[in-house]
């Protein structure tokens, strides 16, 4: 099967899921074509079954804004035609499902068509998708998709509440390749912490929904009781809040390490004792799953789909969104009890195994087969 994957190339969760999915499909013999504005961050282009097609943007003095969606739909149309793709898979409704719909219309003009799968990832539904500038186009393009998938039960529920959706939504959760966490040479713990220090970690694209200011507040509370360090991985608009916090709390400067974007994330996750995720919204929480795969328990909010991944009292603890005090107390409780911490690390890994690639990839394959089998090709002119 030849599959076109349309996704963001950046470190955001939807791009990571799309890339990991495409690479796993390519390893199984599928021909996978990525269409994006840049090479996706984790894409291994040396795999002979993987193709990358960069969307070309044309500058023109008349354009105040470059019309990316037009360039994208033209590129999708061209790649479907050139490589005879069997199916398109859009990750994140805006603009991918919308541009794919337009490309399909162009194909239909020539008596051709290709089925479109749209995977809803989160903020395309709960945040950006709600803006009046996008809402109707998002609803329209979701309804025009041949198959719709959502990354959690919670996101499915939100989608049905927030939009008028006329089709079934199938839940296929985020996944993790646990083999990536096996037999690796890890970083030395003493690179980041003293032998008696615990390590707290937060990984995100530092957007306001991630509430990095609460990560810092939790750490401020915890370090009063527990000898610990905080590692923050990622870049984003709220990095300024981190810098401001450090200016106001200069005594914490030696206890907080800012690593920016990191390639071998698992190496650092594996050193960590607790992952902090106080998000305001989180359709699934791929970052939490990655932490669990590295045997790191999670202290999180109970936003969106997080409770489907982080199990209260088993793989970590959850509190109401914004309840910094509860999240701080849970972290202190966990880090003060080595037996509890060891048990939760074990439980976290077991939970990550439930979301292993080998369990989730067949669901995607079955969904593709079903989409193709039920798709009606247009009658030839
Ligand atoms: O929130 C991010 O870091 C990026 C965002 C995206 O769509 O790029 O992530 C969303 O998709 C991930 C993969 O499906 C989910 O695991 C995240 O929970 C979700 N983020 C939010 O809902 C805020």
Q: What is the pLDDT of residues 210-226, one digit of tens each?
A: 999 999 999 999 999 99
Asked if CATH classification 3.40.50.970 holds for the domain at 179-354, the reply, yes or no, is no
Centre of ligand 1 to C-alpha 251, Å, is: 33
Ligand 1 atom index nearest CA of 289: 16
Beta carbon of 210 within 6 Å of any ligand 1 atom? no
- The first and second tokens of residue 64, run together, are 């105040």
Centre of ligand 1 to C-alpha 60, Å, is: 33
What lies within 8 Å, CB to CB, of 277 at 6+ separation is 202, 204, 210, 285, 287, 288, 298, 299, 300, 301, 306, 310
Tell me, what's the pLDDT at 61?
86
* Ligand 1, atom 9: closest residue by C-alpha: 13
Q: What is the pLDDT of residues 279-310, one digit of tens each?
A: 999 999 999 999 999 999 999 999 999 999 99
Residue 319's φ and ψ, nearest 5 degrees, are -135, 170
Centre of ligand 1 to C-alpha 287, Å, is: 9
Centre of ligand 1 to C-alpha 61, Å, is: 35
Residues of the chain with CATH 3.40.50.2000: 2-175+357-376, 179-354
Beta carbon of 9 within 6 Å of any ligand 1 atom? no
Q: What whole-number distance in Å separates Cα of residue 83 and Cα of residue 78?
A: 8
With cut-offs at 50, 70 and 90, classify the pLDDT of residue 11.
low
Q: What whole-number distance in Å separates Cα of residue 330 and Cα of residue 360?
A: 31
In 10 A of CB 86, how many CB atoms? Answer: 18
Beta carbon of 245 within 6 Å of any ligand 1 atom? no
- Choose which residue among 9, 11, 12, 13 to substitute to test ligand 1 binding: the one with the highest number of ligand atoms within 8 A of its C-beta: 13
Tell me, what's the pLDDT at 277?
98
Helix axes 239-248, 212-222, angle to 10 degrees: 30
Ligand 1 atom index nearest CA of 287: 16
Centre of ligand 1 to C-alpha 203, Å, is: 12
Right CATH for 2-175+357-376 from 3.30.9.100, 3.90.226.10, 3.40.50.2000, 3.40.50.300: 3.40.50.2000
Across 41-79, b (16+ Cβ under 10 Å) vs e yields: ebbeeeeebbbbbebeeeeeeeeeeeeebebbbbbbbeb
Mean pLDDT of the chain: 95
- The first and second tokens of residue 216, run together, are 């810092």
Q: What whole-number distance in Å separates Cα of residue 35 and Cα of residue 154?
A: 28
């Amino acid at each position: 099967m030849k599959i076109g994957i349309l996704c963001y190339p950046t470190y955001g969760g939807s791009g990571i899921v799309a890339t990991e999915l495409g690479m796993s499909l390519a390893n199984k013999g599928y021909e996978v074509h990525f269409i994006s504005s840049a090479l996706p961050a984790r894409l291994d282009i040396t795999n002979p079954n993987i193709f990358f097609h960069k969307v070309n943007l044309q500058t023109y003095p008349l354009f105040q804004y470059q019309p990316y969606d037009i360039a994208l739909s033209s590129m999708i149309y061209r790649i479907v035609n050139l490589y005879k793709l069997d199916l398109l898979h859009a990750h994140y409704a805006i603009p991918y499902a919308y541009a794919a719909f337009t490309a399909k219309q162009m194909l239909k003009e020539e008596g051709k068509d290709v089925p479109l799968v749209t995977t809803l990832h989160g903020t395309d539904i709960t945040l950006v998708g709600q803006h009046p500038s996008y809402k109707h186009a998002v609803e329209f393009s979701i309804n025009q998709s041949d198959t719709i998938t959502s990354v959690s039960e919670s996101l499915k529920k939100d989608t049905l509440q927030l939009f008028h959706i006329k089709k079934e939504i199938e839940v296929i959760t985020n996944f993790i390749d646990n083999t990536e966490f096996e037999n690796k040479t890890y970083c030395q713990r003493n690179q980041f912490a003293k032998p008696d220090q615990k390590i707290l970690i937060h990984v995100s694209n530092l957007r306001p929904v991630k509430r990095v200011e609460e990560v810092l507040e939790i750490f401020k509370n915890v370090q009063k009781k527990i000898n610990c360090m905080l590692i923050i991985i990622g870049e984003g608009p709220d990095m300024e809040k981190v810098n401001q916090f450090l200016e106001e709390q200069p005594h914490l400067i030696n206890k907080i390490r800012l690593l920016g974007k990191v390639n071998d994330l698992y190496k650092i996750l594996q050193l960590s004792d607790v992952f902090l995720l106080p998000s305001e919204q989180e359709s699934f929480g791929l970052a939490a799953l990655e932490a669990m795969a590295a045997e790191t328990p999670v202290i999180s909010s109970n936003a969106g789909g997080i409770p489907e991944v982080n199990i209260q009292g088993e793989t970590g603890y959850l509190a109401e969104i914004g309840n910094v005090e509860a999240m701080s107390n849970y972290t202190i409780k966990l880090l003060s009890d080595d037996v509890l911490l060891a048990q939760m690390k074990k439980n976290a890994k077991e939970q990550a195994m439930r979301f292993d690639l080998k369990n989730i990839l067949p669901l995607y394959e079955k969904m593709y087969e079903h989409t193709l089998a039920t798709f009606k090709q247009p009658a030839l002119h």
